Amino acid sequence: MIFSFRRMLLVAATLVLGLSGAQAQQRAVPESKAQVQLSFAPVVKQTSGAVVNVYASRIDRRQNTGMEEFFRRFFGDSNPSMPPGRSQSSLGSGVIVDASGLVITNNHVIENMNDVKVALADRREFEADIVLRDPRIDLAVLKLKNPNYLQVLELGDSEALEVGDLVLAIGNPFGVGQTVTQGIVSALARTQVGVSDYQFFIQTDAAINPGNSGGALIDMNGRLVGINTAIYSRSGGSIGIGFAIPSSMVRVVLSSAQTGARNVVRPWLGARLQPVDGEIASSLGLERPTGVLVTSVYDKGPASDAGLRRGDVILSVDGQSIDNPDAFGYRFTLKGTRGETPLTILRGGKQSQIVVKLVPPPETPSREPVRIRTRSPFAGTTLVNMSPAVAEEFQIDISDDGVIVADVDESSTAASVGFRQGDQLVAIDGERLASTKDAERVIGKASGYWEITVNRGGRIFTTVLGR
């Protein structure tokens, strides 16, 4: 009986609390049928047809010489090239951004691939050409072959986003088919993600999973504000920390593709930069670490012409404050390669402003490309001279010596050895290389072996290969 009485009291209390809650809710009940039926469905219908699935594949046709193990062992490739003759494939998403059939996706979705197909939400499929790749931003542009009746997604203004704004992520996670997830903008200007060189990501808690890469991040106006690119995860699945490349950078890449460019041409500063840490900030009299420190200035470059000096701290680009080199690279890239832009700098404890010309990196000296066809480990490569433009294109330090591997035939001896685009040939048989003519002459010499010094990403190694 005691148990029953207590149970009756509990039921009565629950009913009273339920009535009180219902009375409280009456103060905010929907006032119309439209409010009752609030949904993201209209935005999804407006946009989902422009989000596509991207299927990429490749068959490696290299000859197996065994010499590529030298590059694997030394450079420690985390994802070494697959064995020759084997197939490789990837799956991701993309967004139709132009009625002519241009599709934006992540570069890592189609990286090293040579056969790309795009499937639309209505199940139509198109073959696609890769018209632009930019590994530094991790974006690529595809062109559908013979497109018709395409839904296009309008680019929004990622600069207008605020933390807390509602967003939708649309893509093809795990290959299950088009999926929509909802969340908010969790943070802006994330730069410590480690995905690309120009890191300035939108962070969202909308679920993003493998296969979402290259898909759309949509605002509530049905506009593209980001390209979903990466997640932070210990399991491989979403834990609510996803990152998207802002649409402002997408616009830069798309503009380059629309002009027929094969890569994005960025403005060239002509200076080396490093982050400002707490110790540097204290020595400069800054209240907190902010801006970027100029460690060297390239002679006769835009920075030098504008009066920028070693030891200056760049605090902002055209009024937009920056906290690290990634933020500077992003803001500076958005300015394009025409006109000029103001930089706020700190020098000797005082702030001032300088104006830097926005110009592409120069091709000085000229590339003078040389195609290597002679029987050697370099057969199948195209070598070019170092210049600011080449250094920018292949992410190389301009002060380093050597000629640059600009291209490698996939079925060549050089590819089987393990040479890649962007490798620097520093020396061959002990002779330093200052130009492509030097390289051509040295490679043409007869010898019983090759002593090769290579610089890849700042790591230098010398090895000897038999002929």
Q: Which of 17-21, 51-55, 383-387 has the lowest mean pLDDT?
A: 17-21
Q: Are residues 205 and 137 located together in one domain of the fold?
A: no
Domain-located, residue 182? yes
Encode 110-139 in three state secondary structure.
Answer: HCCCCEEEEECCCCCEEEEEEEEEECCCCE
Q: What is the pLDDT of residue 102?
A: 96
Domain-located, residue 85? yes
CATH of the domain at 228: 2.40.10.10
Domain-located, residue 329? yes
* 370/405 Cα distance (integer angstroms): 10
Q: Which of 68-82, 323-337, 396-410 has the lowest mean pLDDT?
A: 68-82
pLDDT of residue 15 exceeding 60, the answer is no
Q: Are residues 98 and 121 located together in one domain of the fold?
A: yes
The residue from 198, 232, 258 where one domain ends is 258
Q: What is the pLDDT of residue 382?
A: 95
- pTM for this one? 0.78
Q: What is the pLDDT of residue 370?
A: 93
Q: Are residues 50 and 140 located together in one domain of the fold?
A: yes
* 268/248 Cα distance (integer angstroms): 19
pLDDT of residue 51 exceeding 90, the answer is yes
The amino acid at 370: V
pLDDT of residue 66 exceeding 80, the answer is no
Residue with tokens 């920390």: 241
The residue from 203, 235, 258 where one domain ends is 258
Q: What is the pLDDT of residue 316?
A: 95
Domain extent, residue 301, equals 271-357
CATH of the domain at 322: 2.30.42.10
pLDDT of residue 62 exceeding 90, the answer is no
Q: Are residues 137 and 166 located together in one domain of the fold?
A: no
Domain-located, residue 39? no
Mention every residue, 6+ apart, whose C-beta is less than 8 A from residue 355. Answer: 306, 340, 341, 342, 343
pLDDT of residue 25 exceeding 60, the answer is no
Task: Provide mean pLDDT across the span 228-236.
Answer: 75
Domain-located, residue 139? yes
Q: Are residues 139 and 60 located together in one domain of the fold?
A: yes
Q: What is the pLDDT of residue 26?
A: 47
Task: Give catalytic residues, as residue numbers.
Answer: 108, 138, 213
Please, which pLDDT band fits residue 137 given cuts at 50, 70 and 90?
Answer: confident
Domain-located, residue 35? no
Domain-located, residue 5? no
Q: Would you give the distance in Å from CA 414 to the centre of its chain?
A: 27
Q: Are residues 207 and 181 located together in one domain of the fold?
A: yes
pLDDT of residue 455 exceeding 80, the answer is yes
pLDDT of residue 30 exceeding 60, the answer is yes
* Residue that wins the pLDDT comparison between 154 and 198: 154
Q: What is the pLDDT of residue 271?
A: 92
Percent of the chain surpassing pLDDT 70: 81
What digits encode the pLDDT tens for the residues 347-393?
Answer: 988 999 999 999 999 998 899 999 999 888 899 999 999 999 998 88
Domain-located, residue 189? yes
What digits encode the pLDDT tens for the residues 281-319?
Answer: 999 888 899 999 999 998 889 999 999 999 999 999 999
Q: Are residues 353 and 397 located together in one domain of the fold?
A: no
The residue from 144, 178, 213 where one domain ends is 144
Q: What is the pLDDT of residue 233?
A: 65
Q: What is the pLDDT of residue 21?
A: 46
* 267/331 Cα distance (integer angstroms): 11
Q: Are residues 103 and 163 located together in one domain of the fold?
A: no
* 267/361 Cα distance (integer angstroms): 7
Please, which pLDDT band fits residue 60 given cuts at 50, 70 and 90?
Answer: low
pLDDT of residue 261 exceeding 80, the answer is yes
Q: Are residues 454 and 388 located together in one domain of the fold?
A: yes
Q: Are residues 51 and 137 located together in one domain of the fold?
A: yes
Q: Are residues 351 and 374 located together in one domain of the fold?
A: no
Please check whether residue 320 is in contact with residue 332, taking contact to mean a CB–CB distance below 8 angstroms. Answer: no
Q: Are residues 419 and 451 located together in one domain of the fold?
A: yes
Q: How many domains does the chain have?
A: 4
Task: Provide mean pLDDT across the span 11-26.
Answer: 44
* Residue that wins the pLDDT comparison between 197 and 325: 325
* 249/127 Cα distance (integer angstroms): 26
